[in-house]
Amino acid sequence: MEPVRLSKRMAELGLCSRREADEYIARGWVTVDGVVVDVLGSKVLPEQKIELRRQAQRAQSQRVTVLLNKPVGYVSGQAEQGYQPAVVLIRPENHWAGDASGIRFAREHLGNLAPAGRLDIDSVGLLVLTQDGRVAKALIGEESGVEKEYLVRVSGRLGPEGLALLNHGLSLDGQPLKPAKVQWQNADQLRFVLQEGKKRQIRRMCELVGLRVTGLKRIRIGRIALGDLPQGKWRYLGADERF
């Protein structure tokens, strides 16, 4: 088999992101078959054993992931059209008193804190921001299959055929969507469970079957539920929690 870049292989193995891999390699924190490799661009064979040294493991353990109950009016990523990014809400005064992680807020937790997935400006609920490339890859990497669950308030009429299409059979941007799990939660609210996250996907899916979304709330990502986290508040992902 052909050799591949060490940083790419590290990301494929879920050791870290490619950006983090380059940092660890440059610092001499990576071994291949027990030998330190500190040259960027180095290549390895798929069967070679890649390990992080203690310094890299320590650096990873200090990276945090934050769970925010995003309100309406904030964008997930970069500021746009006068709207603020959700990361501005990660302040000590918004830290949820019910956070059981045991992690104390530190200013360095705000460095390189980026959203792992989008939640549009009109939507509310669970938004993940992380410093950890492993978390980002798990949630938004090309091979991610982590479920995301939403409660979606709608207006309009939806027959059995439309509900069947929401579950499987729709396409967006010329690409067929993965099967979803969509069912009625109550008279005007649907529950969606998706394994992908195209831009404004649920709103566009609903439009295709004659519905208009009047409210959208994300309540779960993988095994992590929004739970009792109040709107506008945030907490840390605990060491024992996994998506």
Q: Count Cβ atoms below 10 Å from residue 69 Cβ, excluding itself.
A: 24
Look at residues 2, 19, 13 and name the one whose alpha carbon lies nearest to residue 130. 19
Q: Which two tokens stand for residue 138?
A: 């798990």
- Separation CA 225–CA 67 (nearest Å): 10
- Separation CA 138–CA 135 (nearest Å): 5
Q: Which amino acid is at 198?
A: K
Element (H, E) at 30: strand 30-32
Own/partner long-range contacts of 28-33 (Cβ < 8 Å, ≥24 apart): 28/53, 29/53, 29/55, 29/56, 29/59, 30/6, 30/56, 32/6
Q: Which of 22, 38, 99, 120 is catalytic?
A: 120
In the three-class reduction of DSSP (H, G, I as helix; E, B as strand; rest coil), residue 234 is classed as strand
Told to judge if 33 belongs to the known catalytic residues of this protein, a careful annotator would answer no
Annotated catalytic residues are 120
